Amino acid sequence: MKNIISLCFLVACLPLIAVSQNIMPVPSSVQPGSGYLRIDSSFSLSIHGKKNQRIEAAVLRFLKRLSSQTGILLRIDGGRYNAAASLVIRYDTTPDSFPRLSEDESYSLHIAESGARLDAKTFAGVLYGLETFLQLVEVGADGFRARHVEIEDQPRFPWRGLLIDACRHWMPVEVIKRNLDGMAMVKMNVLHWHLSEDQGFRVESKKFPKLHELGSDGNYYTQREIREVITYAADRGIRVVPEFDMPGHTTAWFVGHPEIASGPGPYQIERKWGVFDPSMDPTSETTYKFLDTFIGEMAALFPDEYFHIGGDEVTGKQWDANPQIQEFKRKNNLNDNHALQVYFNRRVLAIVKKHGKKMIGWDEIFHPDLPKDIIVQSWRGQKFLAEGAKQGYQGLLSFGYYLDLIRPASYHYSIEPADSTIKSLSSDQQKKILGGESCMWAEYVTPENVDSRIWPRNAAIAERLWSVATTNDVDDMYRRLEITGKRLELLGLTHRTSYIQMLERIAGVQSIEPLKTFADVVEPVKGYERGRTRPHTSLTPMNRLVDAARPESDVARRFARLVEELIAGRISNDDKTLLVGFLKSWSDNDPKLQPMIAGNQLLDGIGPLSKDLSDAAAVGLRLVEIVSSSGKLANEDAISFKQVIERAEKPRAALLLMVVPSIKKLYTAVVQ
């Protein structure tokens, strides 16, 4: 009898596991229990460890968030050393001034009848345990509660970063801060801050004020603001690694300092997107003297031990056009421009080291002659990462994590830093892979919509870098991504609200209803396609539907699932009703949307796409009937349906109709 009961208990446990795992990223080990810790206004907390202001502040933020999550007014005075507290926090060491690479980030969180206990060695562990606790809180019949659970957790990779490009479009401090909050929630620990570009130089330099005064249109971070962000990040366990890209991507430096360029100038801030020719003169001592002073200043401003020098996409055209540079190459046996860049990197590395930092650069800096203590960040593919690791270089993966390319979360989720090439390396070589970074390049984002490009998809990348490699159930990832998206919005990110606000701007005084029905099923074109559509500069307003549209249509994903179930003959009646309802709403939408499109500049080019959606949905309705009756498509319909689908597949106004591939599947299922 007892065995039967425990067997039942085991079976009943399965849904419990799902309930307790609304956590993102998934912890290393979760053992759910069966009871709950009540969370009400009597919730109390105690801290055991050496008194520390940073930990106290983190706990205060935790209590405020718990309060905002539940609507319960909590006492936030804490109560140290209260052994009967609802949540007891213990830690061994107090935080250093700034977080460092490869600290112990583990924690254990046990919630039981007697209360909750969070144990961590370090500040980072405390922070992560508190984040996990917040993700366990749910509402039940008796109010808010957290399920009894035993969690042991630690990250798979020590370097889990997000790159924010503050250059192509300016990103004010508040954008950076709210994204740091989001990063902390998903346990990311490095902000890679891309601070100089052809289109802008974004940091105040006291040594060379012309850099920011002439290179930024007035949009730069003061040194006081930089320090404020670094402290804000450190409070959340996040390191800040600055990138000053060189010798290419440097036009904005040269507006004030043409003397370090390889061509005569004059230079202006670049307004277009792309890869440009201006690059530093790697043969001139003036350049190195300048960089010594500049890097010295920035090395003192940014406390992290790593300093990113970029190094990507040097065209070499200015070098080829400069007879002095050609002469230098001949004299020094530098056979090509890559060799010249390696020479430059060595000189810069010496400067970076002199100022107490370790150097990071993109793939292109990789050269077997460079010392082994540099980090190579791979944007071109895992094979470059593996190549570096084989030769003893530490590496970070960013290939596959480019958020600006508007790929689905499932794509990013599938990109494994330790892929088969890496797995074939020795375990020492494998340890060279420190982790990865997602990248938010800012050609097509502004402070208004940047959150919507980062979140929630970035949480899928955060999970890939934190959780064990076998955490790879895509459906469950999407389930938790939706929950995480809501939590992030509550934290202050704007990816959900900005969507509605941007649609409301487009709709003007009219109801957004038909526009939203349409916008819910479109996505911006993928990869680098957008750059090939309407000409864009850094001054082009970003107020079109493509800027509002989400990177990933949840409606289209749900629709795809329903279509698959219909075709497989296992759709429920409710789901069939839902499927038909979707198609009807799209098929009816065009006449409602066209009056808004007419005479609205912000909807230029949308008319035909709206018509395509309605036409394709009408075809979809017919196809659903045929599939449902196990019929086949009549030949005369086959041709016209195919034309409708093919027209609707074409991108227009830089947008794709994401439900069309599923309608095409219906077609394929019944065409003779």
CB 550 within 8 A of CB 522: no
Distance, in Å, from the CA atom of 170 to the CA atom of 192, rounded to the nearest integer, reads: 15
Distance, in Å, from the CA atom of 159 to the CA atom of 358, rounded to the nearest integer, reads: 15
Q: Which amino acid is at 314?
A: V
Q: Which is nearer to ligand ACM, 359 or 549 (CB)?
A: 359
State in angstroms the smallest separation of the CB of 397 from ligand ACM. Answer: 12
Q: Which long-range contacts (CB under 8 A, 24 or more apart) does 669-672 make?
A: 669/567, 669/623, 669/627, 670/623, 670/626, 670/627, 670/631, 670/632, 670/633, 671/632, 671/633, 671/638, 671/642, 672/632, 672/633, 672/635, 672/638
Distance, in Å, from the CA atom of 95 to the CA atom of 235, rounded to the nearest integer, reads: 9
Within the chain, how many helices (H) and strands (E) appear? Answer: 27, 18
Query: What's the distance, CA 179 to chain centroid?
Result: 9
Task: Work out whether strand 159-165 and strand 190-197 pair parallel, antiparallel, or are unpaired.
Answer: parallel
Helix (H, G, I), strand (E, B) or coil at 107: strand
State in angstroms the smallest separation of the CB of 166 from ligand ACM. Answer: 15
Contacts of 17 (CB under 8 A, 6+ apart): 30, 32
State in angstroms the smallest separation of the CB of 573 from ligand ACM. Answer: 49
Contacts of 652 (CB under 8 A, 6+ apart): 605, 606, 608, 609, 612
- DSSP state letter for 259: G
> In 168-222, which ranges are continuous DSSP H helix?
173-185, 210-215
Structure token digits, residue 671: 């065409």
Distance, in Å, from the CA atom of 304 to the CA atom of 241, rounded to the nearest integer, reads: 6
Q: Which is nearer to ligand ACM, 306 or 667 (CB)?
A: 306
State in angstroms the smallest separation of the CB of 80 from ligand ACM. Answer: 47
Catalytic entry in 150, 313, 513, 529: 313
Q: Pick from 362, 384, 393, 499 the residue near ligand ACM by CB under 6 A.
A: 362
Tell me: does residue 513 bind ligand ACM (CB under 6 A).
Answer: no
CB 497 within 8 A of CB 489: yes
Give residues 147-176 in contact with ligand ACM (rule: CB under 6 A).
Answer: none
Q: Which is nearer to ligand ACM, 283 or 345 (CB)?
A: 345
Q: Which is nearer to ligand ACM, 437 or 448 (CB)?
A: 437
Q: Which is nearer to ligand ACM, 312 or 547 (CB)?
A: 312
State in angstroms the smallest separation of the CB of 239 from ligand ACM. Answer: 19
Q: Which is nearer to ligand ACM, 170 or 379 (CB)?
A: 379
State in angstroms the smallest separation of the CB of 194 from ligand ACM. Answer: 9
Neighbours of 285 (CB within 10 A): 9
What number of chain residues touch ligand ACM (CB under 6 A)?
A: 4
Query: What's the distance, CA 246 to chain centroid?
Result: 24
Q: Taking the CA atoms of the chain, what radius of gyration do you get in angstroms?
A: 27
Nearest to 202 by CA among 184, 229, 183, 178: 229
Give residues 376-415 in contact with ligand ACM (rule: CB under 6 A).
Answer: 379
Q: Pick from 228, 305, 313, 575 the residue near ligand ACM by CB under 6 A.
A: 313
State in angstroms the smallest separation of the CB of 311 from ligand ACM. Answer: 9
Q: Which is nearer to ligand ACM, 163 or 659 (CB)?
A: 163
CB 316 within 8 A of CB 259: no
- φ/ψ of 605, rounded to 5, equals 85, -5
Q: Which amino acid is at 488?
A: L
Q: Which is nearer to ligand ACM, 313 or 416 (CB)?
A: 313
Q: Which is nearer to ligand ACM, 225 or 313 (CB)?
A: 313
Q: Which is nearer to ligand ACM, 313 or 476 (CB)?
A: 313
State in angstroms the smallest separation of the CB of 192 from ligand ACM. Answer: 11
Give residues 173-212 in contact with ligand ACM (rule: CB under 6 A).
Answer: none
Residue whose C-beta lies closest to ligand ACM: 312
State in angstroms the smallest separation of the CB of 529 from ligand ACM. Answer: 16
CB 103 within 8 A of CB 111: no
Q: Pick from 312, 404, 448, 520 the residue near ligand ACM by CB under 6 A.
A: 312
Instruction: Give just the sign of the alpha carbon dihedral 239, 240, 246, 249.
Output: positive
Count Cα atoms within 13 angstroms, Cβ side, for 540. 17
Structure token digits, residue 234: 């450190």
Instruction: Give just the sign of the alpha carbon dihedral 389, 394, 397, 399.
Output: negative
State in angstroms the smallest separation of the CB of 363 from ligand ACM. Answer: 8
Token pair 């709950």 is found at 36
Helix (H, G, I), strand (E, B) or coil at 174: helix
313: annotated active-site residue: yes
Q: Which is nearer to ligand ACM, 314 or 627 (CB)?
A: 314
Distance, in Å, from the CA atom of 320 to the CA atom of 5, rounded to the nearest integer, reads: 80
Distance, in Å, from the CA atom of 582 to the CA atom of 448, rounded to the nearest integer, reads: 29
State in angstroms the smallest separation of the CB of 313 from ligand ACM. Answer: 5
> Which residues contact ligand ACM by CB under 6 A?
312-313, 362, 379
Give the residue numbers annotated as catalytic, written as ranges: 313
